[in-house]
Structure 1
Amino acid sequence: MKTLVVGRITAVFGVRGWVKVHAYTEKVETLCSYQPWLIDTPAGVKPIQIDEWRRHGESLVAHIAGIDDRDIAQTWCGNDILVEKDKLPELKSDDYYWHQLEGLSVVSHYEGEQIRLGTVKSLLETGANDVLVIKGDAESIDREERLIPYVDQFVTSISMVDRRIDVIWDPAF
């Protein structure tokens, strides 16, 4: 079972078994459509069912089914919420989940040359656009870390078959 971290139970909320949840999904409500939640605990992955939830500011509060005690709810806090990757909805052909881009090689086509910059280590969400975090590796021009805006101006193509992202980026940056 391949899983992906989609959120985290952060704290208790009230005294009746509710918890605060920080979602890593673009739309926080999406998190509640993945049931049961798989919780990554020190004792292993355990499923829990959420029977009620609501938005609370930028995050969620949720009630764990069968738990009506604050102290018991507290035992779930600080744990990641996982989802099986195959349960994620299909995207349009030119859209990608961040986890699909992580690990792809990045090649810059700059001034007529092809220069390997490294691999996608992660992505950052900014107010304006997402940013690829590229880490140099043994096959790249250097071992530097680069931040490349994930926009059409710089990212020219993505090939999942070749596990490669082509960009227009000055390697000196």
Structure 2
Amino acid sequence: MTDTQQRVAMGYIKGVFGIKGWVKIAASTEYSDSLLDYPEWLLSKDGKTLSVSVEAGKVVSGELQVKFKGIEDRDRAFSLRGYTIEIPREAFAPAEEDEYYWADLVGMQVANTDGIVLGEVKNLMETGAHDVLVIEGEYGQKLIPFVSQYIENVDNDNRTITADWGLDY
């Protein structure tokens, strides 16, 4: 893998479980076991990157626990604590129609239906009901619900989003 490939942070290793090298994962995916769809993970911390292979994984009481190949004891597993889990963007399955990966939306320019640029997507938030775009730009921070009532168009090729959103909202 080259350094030019986009890598997406998908969570981090928050601790160890047991004595046989298992780690506990704080996943930042919709479903914690979604990370098990990727057999190879990149772990990064303090400018250091490790490549690991998932040997086994399970969800216990809502928490993802993973065993990596070659990590056989608690001490080796503990040394991975705090590492960020990254997956190359090209490893993602294609999004369904009218579905988007958050990683693809971040950085897009958002304009309203009058053509006024509201800013750039800096982040997204989950509210339970729907996701919300966090936009920052010349007119300050805007929080726009990512629902069809407000989002007119997402143009992946031009990295733009058109929203039915006024400057005074």
Separation in 1 of the partners of 2:166 and 2:6?
A: 36
- SS in structure 2 at match of 1:114: coil
Q: CA deviation at 1:86?
A: 0.8
Structure 2, unaligned stretches of length 5 or more?
none
Question: Which amino acid counterpart does residue 65 of structure 1 have in structure 2?
Answer: K
Greater CA drift, 119-128 or 160-169 = 160-169
Q: Deviations over 1:37-78 (max 9, x none)?
A: 111133521111221211022320111222222121110011
Specify which of 14, 30, 45 is matched with residue 41 of structure 1: 45
- SS in structure 1 at match of 2:10: strand
1:169 and 2:168 equivalent?
no
Equivalent runs, 1:92-131 vs 2, <5 Å:
92-109=96-113, 113-131=114-132
Q: CA deviation at 1:134?
A: 0.3
Q: Deviations over 1:98-157 (max 9, x none)?
A: 111111111112xxx3322111111111111000000014xxxx2x10111000111111
Separation in 2 of the partners of 1:107 and 1:52?
A: 45
Equivalent runs, 1:112-151 vs 2, <5 Å:
113-137=114-138, 142=139, 144-151=140-147
Separation in 2 of the partners of 1:71 and 1:82?
A: 22
Equivalent residue number for residue 148 of structure 2: 152
Equivalent residue number for residue 59 of structure 2: 55
Larger Rg: 1
Specify which of 81, 87, 93 is matched with residue 77 of structure 1: 81
Separation in 2 of the partners of 1:161 and 1:71?
A: 46
Question: Which amino acid counterpart does residue 82 of structure 2 have in structure 1?
Answer: G
Q: TM-score, normalised by structure 1?
A: 0.88
Separation in 2 of the partners of 1:85 and 1:163?
A: 16
Separation in 1 of the partners of 2:8 and 2:38?
A: 12
Separation in 2 of the partners of 1:55 and 1:3?
A: 24
Question: Which amino acid counterpart does residue 73 of structure 2 have in structure 1?
Answer: D
